[in-house]
Amino acid sequence: MHALDAYELYRFFHIGDDETAALRGVSLQVCAGEIVAVTGPSGSGKSTLLACLTGLDEPDGGHVEVAGVRLTRRSQANRARLRRANFGILLQSGNLFPHLTVEQNVRLQMQLAGKPDEKRIAPLLDSVGLVARARALPTELSGGETARAGLAVALACDPPILVADEPTAEVDRDTELRLIAQFEARRAAGLATLLATHSKALAQRADRIVRLKDGRVENG
Ligand SMILES: Nc1ncnc2c1ncn2[C@@H]1O[C@H](COP(=O)(O)OP(=O)(O)OP(=O)(O)O)[C@@H](O)[C@H]1O
């Protein structure tokens, strides 16, 4: 059984009379212990795909299964329950509460999942290179630091599936290597990781690359 399965996803956006087909029949699978990179030019549908895969957006066609359970076409509450149980999510819209520090955001995420673990917070922040910024508020972070703080929140409960949009955006080479090590540790632990990225270095370390172009998988 796959950790994550998407079948023939379609997503259309309408603005006035204009229609954008953001996803046009995208299928993909991610197994436990696998890192999959989604690449493609700006506007090819990566973020839309990640939102549909995590149930934050509803595809217009096709469906998504998480650990063999259908996620699509369920109530918001059911989707939220499945999301909480299965995913750690970092999307471009961000996942940080603005009035809480980085450390407090991570702690809250653990508490919400019913898995408080004070001892894990410092090592987790260290693994994303943010120990020195633990007490900073999101408004005090750079773009790259914000992405890494969001990644720490997404990783807080060792989710079975990590879905991250541009997790290494705006980071230097050393920090990127540190984040790659984090994803590889997930692979070794048998956890699934799906990353949308423009980074060649990151994509090269994935087990598989899914290339999107104009809402379709190019190499499927
Ligand atoms: N809420 C929306 N309303 C209208 N159009 C949208 C919406 N979200 C995405 N789109 C359009 O759908 C297409 C795919 O967008 P998407 O953000 O998924 O691409 P992307 O590959 O993630 O791009 P980037 O690499 O720049 O983040 C684009 O043409 C975009 O303009």
Cβ(113)–Cβ(88) below 8 Å: no
Tell me the two tokens of residue 37.
């990179």
Ligand 1 closest atom vs CA 212: 21
Percent of the chain with pLDDT over 90: 81
Rg (CA), the chain: 17
Average pLDDT, the chain: 93
93 pLDDT above the threshold of 80: no
175 pLDDT above the threshold of 90: no
Domain carrying residue 39: 4-217
pTM of the model: 0.93
Cβ of 1 below 6 Å from ligand 1: no
Cβ of 22 below 6 Å from ligand 1: yes
174 pLDDT above the threshold of 90: no
List the 61-66 sheet strands across, edge first. Answer: 18-30, 4-15, 61-66, 69-70
| CATH value at residue 65 | 3.40.50.300
Give the model's pLDDT for residue 92: 79
Provide mean pLDDT across the span 25-50.
96
Structural domain count of the chain: 1
63 pLDDT above the threshold of 90: yes
Cα 167 to ligand 1 centroid, rounded to whole Å: 18
Ligand 1 closest atom vs CA 14: 4
220 pLDDT above the threshold of 70: no
Give the model's pLDDT for residue 16: 87
CB count, 10 Å around CB of 160? Answer: 18
Half-sphere exposure of 148 (CA within 13 A, CB side): 28
Nearest CA to ligand 1 atom 29: 43
CB count, 10 Å around CB of 24? Answer: 17
Q: For residues 204 and 20, what is the distance between their CA atoms, to the nearest angstrom?
A: 30
pLDDT band, very low/low/confident/very high, at 11 (cuts 50, 70, 90): very high
Cβ of 20 below 6 Å from ligand 1: yes
pLDDT band, very low/low/confident/very high, at 118 (cuts 50, 70, 90): very high
* Pairwise pLDDT comparison (46 vs 143), residue with the higher score: 46
Nearest CA to ligand 1 atom 17: 47
